[in-house]
Amino acid sequence: MGAPRVLPRLDAENRFFWTGGADGKLRLMRCQECATFIHPPRPVCRKCLSEKVAPAEVAGTGTVDTFTINYQEWRPGLDVPYVIARVAIDGAPGVYLTTNIVGCPVEAVQIGDAVQVKFERQGEIYLPLFEKID
């Protein structure tokens, strides 16, 4: 995309998520007691209130839960159209990531498509984009 992406401000609670892609792994906060995934990451489990939480690797695959093709140039220089999708993450029930589906024509994306993470590096940040699995 032409215009630079707006990037997350890293802090103690989100750093593992946004920098985890350096070794190609998607990581989500997970409760060590009841195994629930917690996203956005917080220092407490939203299911059992345990504070024993830690980042855990997931497979990095998922399913397109829903999507939209954006045509509006919200900022000068934004390359349109592009696909915004909400991806349900395999192995992490209830966790969705808003992302872009890349590497295919925008018309090719459908609900239910199997997708796989493809990180886009922006300095120390690795944005988890997704592409379709053929």
Partner 1 sequence: MPANEAYITGVGQSEVGVKLTRLPLLLTLDAVREALSEAGLTIGQIDGVSTYPGRMAMMPGFSPVGADELIDALGIRATWHAGAMETSSQLGAVVAAAMAVRIGQARHVICFRTVYEAAALARPTEYPPLRRETVDGYSQWFAPFNAISAANWTAQYAMRHVKRFGLTREQLAQIALTDRANAVLNPRALVRKPLTMDEYLSARMISTPLCLYDCDRFTDASTVLIVSAGGAIGEVSCTPIRIAAMAGTVERHSWDQAEWMACYPTGTDLWKRTDYKPTDVDTAQLYDGFSFQALAWLEALGFCGVGEGGQFIEGGKRIALNGELPLNTFGGQIGAGRLHGFGFAHEAVVQLRGRGGARQIPGDPRVAVCASGGGPLATALLLARD
Residues that bind partner 1 (CB under 8 A): 1, 5-9, 11, 14, 39-40, 65-72, 74-75, 78, 82, 84-86, 94, 96-100, 110-111, 127, 129
33 burial class (0-12, 13-18, 19+ CB within 10 angstroms)?
Answer: middle
Task: Name the residue type at position 53.
Answer: V
Nearer to partner 1, 39 or 132 (CB): 39
CB of 85 to partner 1, least distance (A): 8
Nearer to partner 1, 58 or 67 (CB): 67
Closest CB to partner 1 among residues 74, 105 = 74
Q: How far is the CB of 52 from partner 1 (least distance, A)?
A: 22
Q: Using CA atoms in the order 20, 134, 131, 17, what is the torsion angle rounded to 10 degrees?
A: -20
* One-character DSSP codes across 17-36: HHHGGGGT-EEEEEETTT--
Cα separation, 93 vs 35, whole angstroms: 11
Q: How far is the CB of 116 from partner 1 (least distance, A)?
A: 16
By beta-carbon proximity to partner 1, the closer residue of 65 and 90 is 65
